[in-house]
């Protein structure tokens, strides 16, 4: 089914096309061959819905129910060549990633995800096999996250572009904003940081090892359910780590008018990240402190309110002057960028 040693490439052990293979199953059908409406049927047929979805795909809009009338809304866009590459990630990986990065935003508000609306744009010569596995990845990650695909749109474009809008239910526990951190709070982390950035560094140099960090770059692993857990425990502020731990903690510090000090020793040093640092000549703490795309959750808690499974990585302090803020590492400013910026 996939190229083997005769082509100089090892067999691909996962379901769906290997990265870089559009249609390994043969047949040659493209999305232009089947057309827009059959493609919509492919996406929506047999979808499962959670108990907060009153009306799913099929009409001009979906209907969802919330517990107290407040609904969260967030959107993320994934563009081929910017957020993913088909020679690096399988179709299923990309489908899973499209869901995971959006659910993470709702988790970061201390809320429960309800449904996603997905816009999918692609060139007409994209293989139908690729799309089938992409949709399989979307559905699998929806099941993991407890969210339902409730609608969307499909159109033609030069590059594959995926826009996902997600709705969430705030409930009585939230929302947890970025502006609530207070001096004396503890800074805690749930999930991994640095792994996806190390994986990107490896892939950018033509390597597919260490496998653990490469897989972290291909598909993020947000700690599903941890956002609501943090809200119930009394988290004062929270954010998902999409652009780098220091940079994202900076958003909390700025909105809360506080200082945040990160304790480097509390992060540890996973061996796969250390190995990438040695291979690239880059301080591995650059990956841990400034690398994005893992979508861990970082939150602040009053002492004694920390939920099980969260790791304390720092403290919140008073700002030196009213309205000022800062993020430091072991009491000192971090030299260099604190995270990722699309335009810098």
**Per the annotation, does 14 bind a ligand?**
no
pLDDT band at 320 (very low <50, low <70, confident <90, very high): confident
**Phi first, then psi: what are they for 270, rounded to 5°?**
-60, 140
pLDDT band at 336 (very low <50, low <70, confident <90, very high): confident
**Per the annotation, does 243 bind a ligand?**
yes
Asked if residue 5 has pLDDT above 90, the reply is no
**Per the annotation, does 261 bind a ligand?**
no
pLDDT digits (tens, 9 = 90+) for 107-158: 999 999 999 999 999 999 999 999 999 999 999 999 999 999 999 999 999 9
Segment 14-41 shows an average pLDDT of 62
Give residue for tokens 């809009």.
Answer: 61
pLDDT of residue 205: 94
pLDDT of residue 53: 67
pLDDT of residue 23: 47
In this structure, the strands spanning 326-329 and 296-301 are unpaired
User: What CATH number belongs to 186-333?
Assistant: 3.90.650.10
pLDDT of residue 25: 41
**Per the annotation, does 169 bind a ligand?**
no
pLDDT digits (tens, 9 = 90+) for 243-277: 999 999 999 999 999 999 999 999 999 999 999 99
The candidate with the shortest Cα–Cα distance to 288, out of 255, 257, 259, 311, is 311
pLDDT of residue 55: 67
**Per the annotation, does 152 bind a ligand?**
yes
CB 58 within 8 A of CB 152: no
Higher pLDDT, 315 or 58: 315
**Per the annotation, does 76 bind a ligand?**
yes
Element (H, E) at 132: helix 128-145
Mean pLDDT score across all residues of the chain:
87
**Per the annotation, does 105 bind a ligand?**
yes
Asked if residue 13 has pLDDT above 70, the reply is no
Asked if residue 213 has pLDDT above 70, the reply is yes
Asked if residue 209 has pLDDT above 80, the reply is yes
pLDDT band at 26 (very low <50, low <70, confident <90, very high): very low
In angstroms, rounded to a whole number, what is the distance separating the alpha carbons of residues 151 and 40?
A: 10
Higher pLDDT, 342 or 126: 126
Higher pLDDT, 70 or 258: 258
Instruction: Tell me whether the CATH fold assigned to 28-169 matches the one assigned to 186-333.
Output: no
**Angle of the 91-107 helix axis to the 128-145 helix axis, nearest 10:** 30
pLDDT band at 289 (very low <50, low <70, confident <90, very high): very high
Segment 77-105 shows an average pLDDT of 95
**Per the annotation, does 294 bind a ligand?**
no
User: What CATH number belongs to 28-169?
Assistant: 3.30.1330.10
Burial of 187 (0-12, 13-18, 19+ CB in 10 A): buried
**Per the annotation, does 293 bind a ligand?**
yes
pLDDT band at 70 (very low <50, low <70, confident <90, very high): confident
Q: Where are the domains of the chain?
A: 28-169, 186-333
pLDDT band at 16 (very low <50, low <70, confident <90, very high): low
CB 224 within 8 A of CB 140: no
Number of helices followed by number of strands (H, E) in the chain: 10, 13
């Amino acid at each position: 089914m996939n190229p083997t040693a005769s082509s100089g490439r090892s067999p691909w052990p996962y379901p769906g096309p290997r990265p870089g293979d559009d249609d390994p199953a043969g047949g040659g059908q493209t999305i232009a061959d089947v057309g827009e409406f059959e493609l919509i049927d492919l996406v929506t047929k047999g979808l499962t819905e959670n108990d907060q979805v009153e009306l799913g795909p099929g009409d001009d809009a979906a209907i969802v129910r919330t517990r107290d009338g407040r609904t969260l809304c967030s959107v993320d866009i994934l563009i081929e060549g910017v957020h993913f590459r088909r020679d690096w990630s399988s179709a299923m990986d990309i489908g899973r990633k499209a869901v995971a990065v959006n659910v993470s935003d709702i988790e970061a508000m201390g809320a429960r995800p309800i449904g996603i609306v997905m816009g999918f744009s692609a060139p007409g010569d994209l293989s139908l096999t690729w799309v089938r596995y992409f949709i399989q990845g979307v559905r699998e990650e929806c099941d993991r996250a407890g969210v339902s695909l409730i609608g969307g749109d499909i159109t033609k474009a030069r590059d594959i572009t995926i826009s996902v809008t997600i709705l969430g239910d705030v409930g009585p526990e939230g929302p947890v904003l970025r502006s609530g951190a207070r001096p004396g709070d503890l800074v805690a982390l749930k999930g991994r940081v640095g792994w996806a950035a190390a994986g990107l560094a490896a892939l950018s140099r033509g390597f597919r090892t260490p496998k653990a960090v490469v897989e972290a770059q291909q598909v993020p692993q947000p700690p599903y359910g941890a956002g609501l857990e943090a809200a119930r425990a009394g988290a004062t502020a929270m954010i998902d780590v999409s652009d780098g731990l220091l940079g994202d903690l900076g958003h909390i510090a700025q909105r809360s008018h506080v200082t945040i000090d990160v304790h480097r020793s509390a992060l540890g040093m996973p061996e796969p990240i250390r190995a990438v640092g040695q291979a690239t000549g880059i301080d591995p703490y650059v990956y841990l402190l400034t690398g994005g795309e893992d979508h861990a959750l970082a939150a602040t808690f009053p002492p004694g309110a920390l939920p099980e499974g969260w790791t304390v990585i720092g403290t919140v302090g008073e700002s030196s002057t009213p309205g000022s803020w800062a993020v430091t590492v072991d009491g000192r400013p971090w030299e260099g960028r604190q995270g990722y910026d699309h335009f810098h």
